[in-house]
Amino acid sequence: MKKRKIVLNILNLSALLFICLYTPIVAFKNAREYEIYSKPTIDTKIYTIWHIETFEGGSLPRVNYLKSIARKIESENDGILFYIKSINPNHLREELLSSTPDIISFGYGVGKIVLPKLKNLDNTYSVRDELLNSGMFNNKLFALPYIVSGYAIITHGVLTQNVHAGSLYNNVQPILDLNNLSLSETESGYEAYKDFVYNKDVTLIGSGRDVFRVDNLNAVGRTNASITPVDYYTDLIQYISLCNVDEFTKKFVSLTLDNNNQFNLNNYHLYSAKYSKIYSSGIYSDMEDALMKCRVPNVFL
């Protein structure tokens, strides 16, 4: 009986040793098989684009325009991905302390902040001279304008001294000076627009987005506002720059200024940095005519 118990103990011990040895071997084999089947068949590279909005008026369409370009490059190049991140301009300095994007899209008011991170661009892009010069610093090109917008003086019929404008990052002073006006308060673009809609005494120095909104209100009889495009000044320009120069970042910038893409900006109710006419009639056509005459300040000054 005692001998039988010893034999059983030996058998149990052998079985336990077998399990302890066999289980890791099977697990390792399965892990190797899983690794083989789960390993990507291609290398993936993700490019980061920071999009910084400094003027209200087409913020979502501008992002959608960038997304359309990203999806085109991704569809033609396996393993290439673009991540578009919207950055609040108030947090831009803090963000740049910890990371740097591959591509950066920005407007007037933050040029000095991003300039140290930007790479020099070649001068082969087909952009109107006055726009191209606005993206230069020390005679070198660092930013390409790819979307243009403009201002309009919008009234309820009579120009008043109760002037409102979205002026947090942009400088509407040249418009005020020429018309002997002064701002009633500093506010966001949307707040200025709301003040105009609900107060018949307000004169609005509006963006292209305000023109779109007020034109729609006129069309449905909500307002009967006068819209006069400003034809001597605009700083409502969106620029694109490179912090990392390689085949795909250069291709992305090139596509923002592609002829077809620029011509199709009318689908986003935006204006082209290349073409003088993408609208055939109406207030958008009038805005284009005005933009062709506008002085554009340097984005880095």
Q: Does domain 152-229 have CATH number 3.40.190?
A: yes
> What is the value of pTM for the model shown?
0.83
**pLDDT at residue 195, as a whole number:** 95
Element (H, E) at 205: strand 203-206
Contacts of residues 112-115 at CB distance under 8 Å and 24 or more positions apart, as own/partner, are 112/300, 112/301, 114/52, 114/241, 115/142, 115/300
Q: Which residues contact 287 (CB under 8 A, 6 or more apart)?
A: 150, 152, 208, 211, 229, 271, 279
In CATH, the architecture of 45-149+234-291 is: 3-Layer(aba) Sandwich (3.40)
Domain with CATH 3.40.190.10 in the chain: 45-149+234-291
**pLDDT at residue 57, as a whole number:** 64
**pLDDT at residue 42, as a whole number:** 65
Provide the 3-class DSSP secondary structure of residue 216. Answer: helix
- φ/ψ of 70, rounded to 5, equals -60, -45
**pLDDT at residue 14, as a whole number:** 52
248 is written with which tokens?
């795909």
Q: What is the pLDDT along the chain (301 residues), one digit of tens a residue?
A: 544 444 444 445 454 444 444 444 444 444 333 343 344 556 899 999 999 999 876 678 899 999 999 999 999 999 999 999 999 999 999 999 999 999 999 999 999 999 999 999 986 777 888 899 999 999 999 999 999 999 999 999 999 999 999 878 899 999 999 999 999 987 888 899 999 999 999 999 999 889 999 999 999 999 999 999 999 999 999 999 999 999 999 999 999 999 999 999 988 888 999 877 899 999 999 999 999 999 999 999 9
